[in-house]
Structure 1
Amino acid sequence: MAEPDEESTNEWDTDRYDKGHSFVFEYGEGVVALLEPERGERILDLGCGTGHLTARISDSGATPVGLDASEEMISKARDTYPDCEFVREDARDFSFEEPFDAVFSNAALHWIPEQDAVLESVADALAPGGRFVAELGGAGNVAAIVDAVREDAAERGYDVEDPWYFPSIGDYASKLESHGLETQYARLFDRPTELENGTDGLADWLGMFGDSLLAPIPDDEQPAVISGVEDRLREDHFEDGTWTAEYRRLRVVAVR
């Protein structure tokens, strides 16, 4: 998910996203199970990407609305799932005339540092008793990759900061409750994730998801940095032709 005002600098190649990084929405099936959508419910899919999980929610008989800030993602979602509704809106500032029984989000919220604005919009969108079910990157997510990029960039004279929002359970529960959302379930867990595309897996991952991380580095130097990152991580994170990223995920259920 990317923000309209370019808060996130990622540019999305939707075909490459679906074909080369399908683990994003495949792992999201577990979050849909946690949501337990029911027939007749009105559900917002916040940061819907190319719409695969929006369609999965629709299969339950619920009426989903997919929301994403990326024009490319929304266009692909509409083409792929014409029977579902998709809107292009900013997750930090959206509103609907009719409330939702649930707001769902998978692998989107860690792109947005301004979580207070997001959660204010989420709380406003929910009917009383409505639930917020989400998975996002948690504390320590992809820390080895971030550290390797920062170290290699620093040796070249560039200061790289972690651009993502990866909260702990305590931090996020407090933030939820400050917006009138009562935390009923929270789990932070390790999920080592094998990257697709073999020996190019780490470079492809950085190419798809790392625009904001690599932004301080000039474009013509980024390939050298990525190669340096591969060298730093190869011993511990590359085996039998496959790269593994140390994902840590935070799953929450909160009720308004």
Structure 2
Amino acid sequence: MTERGGSIDNEWDTTAYDDGHAFVFEHGRGVVDLLDVRPGERVLDLGCGTGHLTHEIADAGAEVVGLDSSKEMIETARETYPDVRFVRADAREFAFEEPFDAVFSNAALHWIPEQDAVLAAITDALKSGGRFVAELGGTGNLDAIISAVRTAAAQRGYDIENPWYFPSVGEYATKLESRGFEVRYATLFDRPTELEGGADGLAAWLDMFGDSLFESVPDADREEIVADAERELRDEQFEDGQWIADYRRLQVIAFRTTGRIELTE
């Protein structure tokens, strides 16, 4: 989850990311299972973050490349896994000379509103018959948290928009099919997720992942908005000393069956 609003210039605290939000890559292990790596395959991990899943794909026998827009994420990944190749690039416009058997992505693509550009780059990166295996936030993802923050911000005169891309199964399958993919698996499901940090877990989550949500809010007002959102959410999202984020995930497996299709308006 390393693109913020599609920008390549955002800064991440990778220590806090790994130590306080490990659920991001821990849940991603199920997506690695969907990838079903075959030894010797070339695999691109798109939005690789600190590289933990990239390393697991390499351990399964693949020739893997991890790609991320974040300088901090790539530096940490290279330090942690020096035997794995990591590249810093923008997910909307990357290119490689040699195509891949598979493109994998976990918890990254919903950060990028320009999804057509991302899918065009993925199409170009895959061999004919290559597969795209991904998990991202789906429609309804984080509705309760986003609504509470928007309500609290509106009470102070700030209009907050949802900065993320959370598609439905139908919407995303249509995008893939329009680019010549055959969608063989797509599912949307709830994944209530405990946030680490106890009573401070929601504030810590918003501090790590909420910069784009609070883009129009001055720092001086942000803390009070978070506190108001916590009060609104506490009855439904706080249990046994833990905050529960209302995650909904979309998983997809699609195969490239044709060359790139140029879309027209």
Query: Cα gap change, 1:162/1:5 in structure 2, threshold over 3 Å: closer, same or farther?
Result: closer
Q: Which residue does 2:104 correspond to in 1?
A: 104
Q: Whole-Å Cα distance in 2 between the matches of residues 113 and 223 of structure 1?
A: 27
* One-letter amino acid of the counterpart of residue 170, structure 2: G
Note if contact 1:10-1:208 (Cα within 8 Å) is conserved in structure 2. Answer: no
Q: How much does 1:2 deviate?
A: 4.2
Structure 2: runs of 5+ lacking an equivalent: 257-265
* One-letter amino acid of the counterpart of residue 124, structure 1: D
Structure 1: runs of 5+ lacking an equivalent: none
Q: Which residue does 2:79 correspond to in 1?
A: 79
Residues 83-107 of structure 1 show CA distances to partners (whole Å, capped at 9, x for unaligned) of 0000000000010000000000000
Q: Which residue does 1:44 correspond to in 2?
A: 44
Q: Which residue does 2:194 correspond to in 1?
A: 194
* One-letter amino acid of the counterpart of residue 102, structure 2: A
Query: Cα gap change, 1:9/1:239 in structure 2, threshold over 3 Å: closer, same or farther?
Result: farther
> Aligned pairs, how many?
256
| TM-score, with structure 2 as normaliser | 0.94
CA-atom RMSD in angstroms: 1.3
Q: Whole-Å Cα distance in 2 between the matches of residues 181 and 51 of structure 1?
A: 27
Q: Which residue does 1:180 correspond to in 2?
A: 180
Q: Which runs of 4+ in 1 moved over 4 A?
A: 1-6
Q: How much does 1:4 deviate?
A: 9.0
| TM-score, with structure 1 as normaliser | 0.98
1:55 to 2:66 alignment: no
Q: How does 1:128-147 map to 2 (within 5 A)?
A: 128-147=128-147
* One-letter amino acid of the counterpart of residue 25, structure 1: F
% identical aligned pairs: 66
Query: Cα gap change, 1:40/1:94 in structure 2, threshold over 3 Å: closer, same or farther?
Result: same
Note if contact 1:2-1:9 (Cα within 8 Å) is conserved in structure 2. Answer: no
Q: How much does 1:23 deviate?
A: 0.2
SS of the residue 1:28 aligns to = helix
Note if contact 1:54-1:66 (Cα within 8 Å) is conserved in structure 2. Answer: yes
Note if contact 1:137-1:250 (Cα within 8 Å) is conserved in structure 2. Answer: yes
